[in-house]
Chains A and B, each alone.
Chain A
Amino acid sequence: MARIGVFVCHCGENISATVDCGKVAETIGKLKHVAYSTDYKYMCSDPGQTIIKDAIKEHNLTGVVVSACSPRMHEPTFRKACAEGGLNPFLCEMANLREHCSWVHEKNDLTTEKAIDIVRSQVEKVKLNSALQPIKVPVTRTALVIGGGIAGIQSALDIANCGHKVVMVERSPSIGGHMSQLSETFPTLDCSQCILTPRMVEVAQHPNITLYTYAEIESVEGFIGNFKVKIRKKAKSLDEKICTGCGLCTTKCPQKKIPNEFEQGMGMRPAIYIPFPQAVPNRPVIDREHCTYYIKGKCKVCEIVCPTKAIRFDQPDEILELEIGAIVVSTGFDIKHADFFPEYGYGKYKDIIDGLQFERLASASGPTTGAILRPSDGQVPKNIVFIACAGSRDPAKGIAYCSKICCMYTAKHAMLYKHKVHEGKAHVFYMDIRSGGKNYDEFVRRAIEEDHVNYIRGRVSTIYERDGKLIVKGVDTLLGAQPVEIVADMVVLATAGIASSGAEELAQKLHVSYDSHKFFAEAHPKLKPVETNTAGIFLAGACQNPKDIPDTVSQASGAAVKVAALFSQSELTREPLVAAVNRSGPPMYSTCVGCFLCQSVCPYQAIEREDFKTRDGKIIKTVAKINEGLCQGCGTCVALCRSKSIDLQGYSNNQVYAEVVALLNEY
């Protein structure tokens, strides 16, 4: 027999000015099953809460309706008060008399009547509430970091330094990512390698970090705290334990004409290679696609020269299965290349390069050891044009977003050029200069004022070659849209940052949503920028959208904290407002008929299959089962289920039905 207590709050005069609170309490008090009904000036105050706690004990209440403000405001407050009064907190409901009644209506009888209706519907609802216990989910305290760029490195180190195990997976042969390709970094112009390589080494040596390079994610199953991840370790074709990384094989490999990925195609590498001298791990891999042995069946020069006999041509890929508690996705970004731009010659002009290629040219470890030389003939360009927003902010090219980093690195490029080629002329075409960030605008001003970089506000319509020079045709919108023509030796396009290749496939494996540009989607653009909509999977860095290094590192640390917080307890506690598929004894087991249409509506992949079997293992029936760890309680499956076999705690069919009836009928 239900014994409901109703507590009507005046909220000072916020409610009582238009609603006759006394009358509400009195009318509701006459309802069947209402054991106690009262009104009070400030229900949320300490004495107010005491009234509730005392009444729970005194009247042996089985449910409480606090008729006050919005539950979005004070539901946690009153649920806590009920718990302190000895009542299960989920047996407390709120009737919203302030935001939805007293504040939006005039003072009259109708308003008070509406208030009574609202309270009554909550009384009817709370009668059907069940005492719920928070859900406990065990947590495996090992994190997986996907991608070994600066974002992944930062996250992995932060998590590992909190004392948790980390597995890092990187698909290329070395960690380091794009940052390892950069020459110098804005706005301080410190050498990228100098600040990055110590961290790469730290990752390799950290006792809590297991590093798998040349490896990819095969599949991900499970849920927060309990992921089961399969990793494919691609065959490096050598025994890493024996290999000393002497590099002799890489110098003797007869195949030397493979475009070097690390040098953005501006240099060549052999088929057995270490991507760059500071690579971590500093061990070569054989690129089977280009290796003569794998193509023609003979060669094996590397095997012959290897002093430790570490080459293993028949090494297979290896699949590892790991138990993981949380995942940080830090797969980074790619950039569009010059061939994306019809108006700039579809990539046919050698001296039109992209920003990353310029980084390699400017890098002391690059193909020109830091000299700015144009690719076509190795001459020092006397006149260089930088084009910002190449592809970005251009809906016609399908990329409406700002790539964020280009304004800054273009200023840096122009500056680096001027520092190296003093007599040279640098021009920058830009749409707007977006230099928000600590010391960023000062940096751009320095390029313009101290290094005399010629900034032209306008777009470049076309570039073509004539007599070995690049004719850059653009417009200067600050000079009344005057056409500008620059005869350049080299052009650098600050091309749009795009999602890393394979991002879509990975997102699908992780069941994480992504936007139309294949960037991973955050759970909330402002308040949950690090979380994804799949609990336990977090984002770091440019896999979410193009970001500079400081932003990437900050977010990576943010993601690490989320993981550390999750790992701070051995069990995870969740609100029990989740869906459940009913169960009964044999032979029914459940009224669920196993059509699994609910599976496709669930945004969280929370619906699993459960088989009921005979003793000899024959399947009698397969029905749906909600994974409480994943369910977020939206209830879309509940409304879809034809046989009404799924119900949602806190918003059960019975409860909402009772609410509708109670709102419309006086008793």
Chain B
Amino acid sequence: MSDFEPKVVAFVCNWCTYAGADLTGTSRIKYASNVKIIRFPCTGRIDFMLLLKAFANGADGIIVSGCHPNDCHYTSGNFHAKRRWIMFKELMDFMGVDMNRITFSWVSAAEGAKWADVVNTTVTRLREMGPYVSYRDLVNKSVEEEVKNE
């Protein structure tokens, strides 16, 4: 377990966090290579189903990040996203899905260092938590169920 490296997918908006991660690069700040970024125009575009798809496809953790409140390039996408994540988080908690596997953050285009920090903190936490077996088992078990049914 000690050499476990979590797979992390980051869902970020183009205008703040993607640009912030660009700044991390330009500033040559190093962070864990476990994270892979998917670019969206806005946090408002991020469908909660995509997060489930990431877990189902083997992600051990997820980062969702966008513009700070009031900084949205589209003025309000992040506010809508915030409400969506509040609901999603409460539902996941209620269903027993471990929300410690998802980091929600606001990282602006100027916060290159914060981005590195968000990634590193998340990866460190996930290393301790280990692979997301319970969700993956669900998928694997489901495959087995089908095989049995057939």
Contacts and interface: CB of A to CB of B under 8 A. Distances in A.
Nearest to B38: A659
B127 interface: no
Size band of the interface chain A makes with B: 35 or more
Interface in B26-55: 26, 28-31, 33, 36-42, 44-48, 50, 53-54
B74 interface: yes
A100 B80 contact: no
Given A104-B116, A118-B36, A664-B59, A603 B53 contact: no
Contacts of A632: 74
Contacts of B42: 634-636
Contact of A114 (B30, B36, B46, B58): B36
A663 B38 contact: yes
A660 B37 contact: no
Contacts of A104: 24-25, 28-31, 33, 116
Task: Please indicate which of the listed interface residues A71, A111, A664 has the most CB atoms of chain B within 10 Å of its own CB.
Answer: A664
Nearest to A650: B41
- The dominant DSSP class at the A interface is helix
Contacts of B22: 70, 72-73, 96, 99-100
Contacts of A114: 33, 36
Interface size range on B against A: 35 or more
Nearest to B55: A664
Given A100-B37, A664-B58, A638 B45 contact: yes
Contacts of A633: 41
Given A603-B74, A661-B57, A664-B7, A656 B50 contact: yes
B9 interface: yes
Interface string A622-653: 00000000001111101110000000101101
Contact of A634 (B54, B57, B74): B74
A425 interface: no
Interface in A98-125: 98-101, 103-106, 110-111, 114, 117-118, 121
Contacts of B74: 533, 603-604, 632, 634, 636
A577 B41 contact: yes
B63 interface: no
A657 interface: yes
A161 interface: no
Contacts of B59: 664
A614 interface: no
A601 interface: yes
A188 interface: no
Given A103-B28, A104-B30, A603-B75, A648 B36 contact: no
A657 B38 contact: no
A634 B77 CA distance: 7
B57 A635 contact: no
Nearest to B40: A651
A459 B147 CA distance: 82
B21 interface: yes
Nearest to A99: B25
Contacts of B58: 664-665
B30 A99 contact: no
B84 interface: yes
Contacts of B126: none
Contacts of B77: 603, 634-636
A147 to B, nearest CB: 24
A660 B41 contact: no
Nearest to A601: B80
A71 B53 contact: no
Nearest to A604: B74
Contacts of A639: 44-48, 84
A260 interface: no
A121 B9 CA distance: 12
A513 interface: yes
Contact of B45 (A111, A651, A661, A663): A651
B54 A660 contact: yes
Interface in A68-108: 70-73, 96, 98-101, 103-106
Most buried by A among B7, B24, B58, B77: B77
Contacts of A603: 74-77
B19 A601 contact: no
Contacts of A117: 36
A121 to B, nearest CB: 7
B106 interface: no
A513 B53 contact: no
A96 B19 contact: no
Given A103-B28, A104-B31, A648-B45, A640 B50 contact: no
Contacts of B39: 71
A30 B5 CA distance: 26
Contacts of B50: 656-657, 660
14 contacts: A72-B19, A99-B21, A100-B25, A100-B37, A118-B36, A513-B75, A632-B74, A634-B73, A635-B41, A635-B77, A639-B48, A664-B57, A664-B59, A665-B57
Nearest first, the 3 A-B pairs at minimum CB distance are A99-B25, A636-B44, A635-B45
Given A603-B76, A634-B44, A665-B58, 12 more contacts: A72-B19, A105-B30, A114-B33, A121-B38, A601-B44, A603-B75, A636-B42, A636-B74, A639-B48, A648-B41, A653-B47, A661-B57
Interface of A: 70-73, 96, 98-101, 103-106, 110-111, 114, 117-118, 121, 513, 533, 577, 601, 603-604, 632-636, 638-640, 648, 650-651, 653, 656-657, 659-661, 663-665
